[in-house]
């Protein structure tokens, strides 16, 4: 399809702006982001216009300590207008002219009377949607089709309207770390011991471990350590969506948000760094084990100093469907970049009981037929 013209200029480009929706230059319809492209597409006539991005190299690493000490300082912020879900606490945006909707995280009703304004750190980068709603719906259908003992009603949920695209807030951190530690190194050795078997003494070779105290220090550098800034997703759900192809991120441009919802972050920067430290500690401990060497390692104490800490606020794309079954909320999630799927599912008690009864019936029938085929022995 040819690109729409704008003021008689071919291949118009859209630069970063605070508008969530743009008007089509051909028919005045709404322009929304077309997944997997750098184009805005008209919902009415299909006309396309190109989005121009700032070079990724211009994405600024922000000074963490300066922000904590001076609060806002010179860091760019934005005001978000979101609706707070009264059931799960999520803060999500609603499309223009929509007065009510369902929360993508718990399926509760959202109304505009619950709208709040929040001043937050402006995102520095985002990963645009790569999968469209149709592909996400197909993956939802395949996931449901592969479930054993799922309620029949679940199959009716896999419709384009049942799955929503939403940008989830994340923090990424860079840091240099210096960790001192003390512990023990264990080196294996073999020896023989006497063993009595059947009244005879034999010698058996066994492996023992010789331990000695150690201490040292390790340097570990972290680049783009990613943590979710959403309380709406559990850590298990967030981990299940990884990995993310952050090397394909683009500088923040609100045009990529058009047609999708956005969640405001609920985990602030300092809390986010606390979560990042826990993830960093796993890597640091692994490095300490490597530094100790030997066959076994024990860490008694370690202390880490963090320096050159920088951060970025990022938005990552997720398709989500939430549904209720017997008053419990279940979620289905898709990484809208890689297609990675994670889902929570209900079980149908009736189907499970039916399967148990069927297996019991088959077992009884097998036993009955086997009994009929057993020859009868007559004794005279």
Report the pLDDT value the prediction gives residue 12, as an integer from 0 to 100.
40
Count of residues making up the chain: 380
* Whole-number CA gyration radius for the chain: 29
Q: What percent of the chain is modeled with pLDDT above 90?
A: 41
Q: Six-digit token pair at 198?
A: 């059947």
**pLDDT value at position 316?**
97
- For residues 179 and 304, give the distance between their C-alpha atoms in angstroms, rounded to a whole number: 4
- The least confident of 30-39, 130-139, 191-200 is 191-200
Least Cα distance to 321 among 127, 155, 137 occurs for: 137
Residue 293: which pLDDT band, with cuts at 50, 70 and 90? Answer: very high
pLDDT digits (tens, 9 = 90+) for 131-159: 999 898 888 888 777 777 666 666 666 55
Distance CA 79, CA 75 (A): 13
In DSSP terms, 331 is beta-bridged to 322
Task: State residue 349's pLDDT score.
Answer: 64
Task: State pLDDT tens for residues 158-180.
Answer: 555 678 899 999 999 999 999 99
pLDDT of residue 15 exceeding 80, the answer is no
């Amino acid at each position: 399809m040819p690109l729409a013209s704008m003021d008689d200029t071919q291949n118009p480009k859209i630069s970063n702006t605070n508008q969530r929706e743009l008007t089509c230059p051909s028919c005045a319809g709404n322009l929304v982001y077309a997944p997997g492209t750098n184009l805005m597409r008209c919902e009415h006539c299909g006309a396309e216009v190109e989005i121009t991005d700032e070079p990724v190299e211009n994405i600024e690493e922000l000074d963490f300590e300066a922000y904590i000490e001076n609060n806002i300082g010179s860091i760019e912020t934005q005001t978000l207008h979101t609706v707070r879900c009264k059931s799960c606490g999520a803060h999500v945006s609603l499309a223009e002219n929509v007065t009510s909707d369902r929360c993508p995280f718990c399926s509760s009703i959202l109304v505009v009377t619950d709208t709040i304004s929040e001043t937050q750190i402006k995102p520095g980068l985002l990963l645009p949607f790569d999968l469209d709603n149709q592909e996400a719906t197909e993956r939802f259908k395949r996931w449901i089709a592969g479930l054993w003992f799922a309620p029949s009603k679940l199959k009716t949920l896999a419709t384009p309207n049942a799955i929503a695209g939403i940008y989830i807030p994340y923090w990424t951190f860079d840091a240099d770390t210096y960790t001192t530690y003390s512990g023990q190194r264990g080196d294996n050795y073999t020896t023989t011991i006497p063993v009595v078997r059947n009244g005879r003494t034999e010698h058996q070779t066994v492996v023992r471990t010789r331990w000695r105290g150690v201490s040292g220090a390790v340097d570990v550098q972290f680049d783009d350590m990613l943590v979710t800034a959403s309380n709406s997703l559990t850590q298990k759900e967030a981990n299940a969506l990884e990995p993310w192809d952050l090397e394909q991120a683009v500088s923040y441009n609100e045009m990529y948000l058009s047609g999708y919802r956005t969640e405001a972050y609920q985990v602030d920067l300092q809390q986010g760094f606390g979560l990042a430290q826990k993830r960093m500690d796993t890597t640091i401990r692994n490095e300490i084990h490597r530094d100790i060497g030997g066959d076994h390692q024990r860490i008694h104490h370690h202390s880490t100093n963090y320096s050159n800490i920088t951060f970025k606020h990022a938005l990552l794309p997720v398709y989500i469907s939430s549904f209720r079954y017997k008053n419990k909320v279940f979620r289905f999630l898709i990484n809208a970049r890689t297609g990675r799927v994670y889902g929570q599912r209900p079980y149908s008690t009736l189907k499970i009981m039916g399967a148990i009864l069927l297996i019991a019936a088959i077992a009884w029938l097998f036993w009955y037929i086997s009994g009929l085929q057993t020859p009868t022995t007559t004794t005279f």
